[in-house]
């Protein structure tokens, strides 16, 4: 109690819940992203996978540099990335 890090059981439960939700959402959001290009779904899947990988590597590297003795950067990283994703998702379509 009162330490920088939560107990490992709580951390593992939180991360498992996070990754379950992310895994569920990614499949559905990718399907929505490829809806307009259904006639070339294979190419569209490759392109969206490439773009998400190109974005994920620098972001995870940046967050990973702050991991020293505490799990706080992971929580902050999830929060900021989730907020940015929600803002992008709810932007009005042009």
List all residues 6 or more positions away from 11 whose beta carbon is below 8 Å from its beta carbon: 5, 71
pLDDT digits (tens, 9 = 90+) for 71-81: 888 888 988 98
pTM of the model: 0.69
Distance CA 30, CA 80 (A): 21
List all residues 6 or more positions away from 41 whose beta carbon is below 8 Å from its beta carbon: 34
pLDDT digits (tens, 9 = 90+) for 15-53: 899 889 888 887 887 788 788 887 888 888 888 889 889
1 band by pLDDT with thresholds 50, 70 and 90:
low
Distance CA 70, CA 90 (A): 32
């Amino acid at each position: 109690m009162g330490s920088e890090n939560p107990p490992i059981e709580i951390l593992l439960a939180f991360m498992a819940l996070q990754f379950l939700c992310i895994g569920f959402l990614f499949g559905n959001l990718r399907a929505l992203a490829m809806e307009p290009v259904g006639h070339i779904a294979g190419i569209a899947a490759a392109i969206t996978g490439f773009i998400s990988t190109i974005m994920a590597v620098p972001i995870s590297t940046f967050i990973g540099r702050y991991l020293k003795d505490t799990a706080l950067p992971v929580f902050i990283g999830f929060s900021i990335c989730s907020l940015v994703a929600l803002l992008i998702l709810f932007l009005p379509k042009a």
